[in-house]
Amino acid sequence: LTGNVTGNATGLSGTPNISAGTIAGSTGTFSGAISGTTGAFSQNIAIRLTSATNNLHVHQDDSDKSLLQFSNTTTGTTSGDGFQIGISGGEEAIIDMKETEPIIFSTAGTERLRINSDGRIAINDTGLASYSTHSPCLAIGDSGDSTPGLILRGSATSNCDISFCDNSG
């Protein structure tokens, strides 16, 4: 935890007492778990479990979905907002951008894979929007080149394209 903690905490029975170095409730205490100067939590955190097997372990008590959700004031805060990651009630892995924005994967600060909200995919190329208005579309390129090396695109109402491009077009 960072910053100041005020108000009531949910998920603990009784009235929790939060002070520097300790989180206490009627069900237990994490003595020394929070730094009084930085607010950093120094132990694994378990949600809906008695102990954590990793730094953060989120568990669902039944076979329902178990999701982490990230949102902000622009996305909103309902279950249909923001970004979710976790497992479904059928135990499938879920990565779900609830907004009409892309999911971007990057390494070393450089975009490597983009999935647009319309299903188009770009691998190692950031200029996907300019290649096709067709969906689905897959563009595979060189991150240093504005033209992808290979484009696969098509739709149910038009012909499909397979294009191979180099710097000369």
CB 121 within 8 A of CB 134: no
Q: Show the tokens assigned to 82.
A: 């923001």
42 φ/ψ angles, rounded to the nearest 5 degrees: -100, 10
- Quote the tokens at residue 111: 């975009």
CA dist 15 and 101 (Å) reads 41
Strands (E), the chain: 17-19, 22-25, 28-31, 45-47, 56-58, 66-70, 83-87, 93-97, 103-107, 110-115, 121-123, 137-140, 150-155, 158-164
DSSP, collapsed to helix, strand or coil, labels residue 151 as strand
Tens of pLDDT along the chain (169 residues) come to 444 444 444 444 454 555 554 444 444 555 566 776 776 777 788 888 888 888 888 899 898 999 999 999 999 999 999 999 999 999 999 999 999 999 999 999 988 888 888 777 777 765 555 554 555 566 776 555 555 567 776 655 666 666 666 655 4
- pTM score, whole prediction: 0.61
CA pair distance 83, 64, nearest whole angstrom: 18
